[in-house]
Amino acid sequence: MEPKVITLTVNGRKHQVALPPNITLLRALREYLHYTDVKNGCEKGDCGACTVILNGKAVNSCLVLAWQADGGEILTVSGLGTTSNPHPIQEAFADTGAAQCGFCTPGMVLAAKALLDENPHPTEEEIREAISGNLCRCTGYGPIVEAIQIAAERLAEGGQK
């Protein structure tokens, strides 16, 4: 099939890009639009490193075809915050040591964001369940769970972000 021009709104920026039908959202974001903050850990939906928020839901971007996301709103970790203006979840990840090698972190942070958007006061069990599709090989998960708990508290105190 021929490439088709699709529209992807990424971190508030609107992109029109011609893509063949077999290109995943992960490849569209990394290779065509250069959002390299979205990580590729397996391309099979097993590791969660490529998690983005598509229309409000956390998805493995390697399991979504770019055409399926046509017209969609996508949030990547660099759209959530920057070093000069980090989101409370990102601050909390930095504070607790939740990012060691940092390669799972973009996906983890977005899984946490999707969770807290839906459930602002999750239990530890709910947090562990929410990130169970995101593999981390460095931390043993404890500091990540702690970061999400701290972020939930800070968001509750500081209001919306």
Partner 1 sequence: MKYKAKPLPPVNLPELRVVGKPLRRVDALGKSVGATIYADDFSLPGMLYAKVFRSTVPSARIKRLDVSKARALPGVACVITHAELPQAVLVTDMPGQTGQKRRAGSDAHVLAKDVVRFVGDPIALVAAETLDIAEKALKLIEVEYEPLPAVFDPLEAMKPGAPIVTPPDNIVSKYKVRRGNVQAGFEAADLIVENTFNVQFVDHIYLEPESGVAWVDDRGVVNIRVCTQVVEHFRSIALALGVPHNKVHIQGTMVGGGFGGKEDITVEIFIGLLALATRRPVKLTYTREESIMAHSKRHPYVITHRTGVTRDGRITAAEIKLIADSGAYVYLSPYVLLYSVGTATGPYRVDNLSIDAYAVATNQVFTSAFRGFGAPQAIFAAECQMDDIAQKLGMDPYEFRCRNYLKTGDIGVNQQIKSAAWLEETASRALEALGEKTPAHGHIKVGQGFASYMQSYGRIMWFHDTSQAWVGLELDGTVVIRSGIPDLGAGQVSAVCQIASELLGVPLDKVQIYHTDSALTPLAGTSTATRQLYMSGNAVHQAASNLRKVLLERASKDLEEDPANLDMADSKVFVKSNPEHFMPLTELLAKCASEGIHLSNLAIFRAPFTSPIDPENVQGDIWPDFTFGAMAVEVAVDTETGEVTVLKSVACHDVGRAVNPKAVAGQIEGGAVQGIGYALMEDCMIKEGYIQAQTLSEYLIPTAVDVPKTKVIILESGTGVGPFGAKGVGEPAITPAAPAVANAVSNAIGVRIKSLPITPEKVLEALESLKQKEKVG
The per-residue DSSP string of 75-92 comes to: E-HHHH--SSS--HHHHH
Count of residues touching partner 1 (by CB under 8 A):
56
Instruction: Kindly tell me which of 8 and 40 has the beta carbon lying closer to partner 1.
Output: 40
Site string for partner 1, 63-82 (x = CB under 8 A): -------------xxx-xxx
- What tokens appear for 92 in the block? 């909390």
> What tokens does 101 get?
């090698």
Residue 149 in the binding site for partner 1 (CB under 8 A): no
Query: Is the Cβ–Cβ distance between 126 and 70 less than 8 Å?
Result: no
Q: Which is nearer to partner 1, 71 or 83 (CB)?
A: 83
State the Cα–Cα distance between residues 110 and 35, nearest whole angstrom. Answer: 15
Residues in the site for partner 1, rule: CB under 8 A?
36-44, 46-47, 49, 76-78, 80-83, 86-87, 90-91, 93-106, 109, 127-129, 131-145
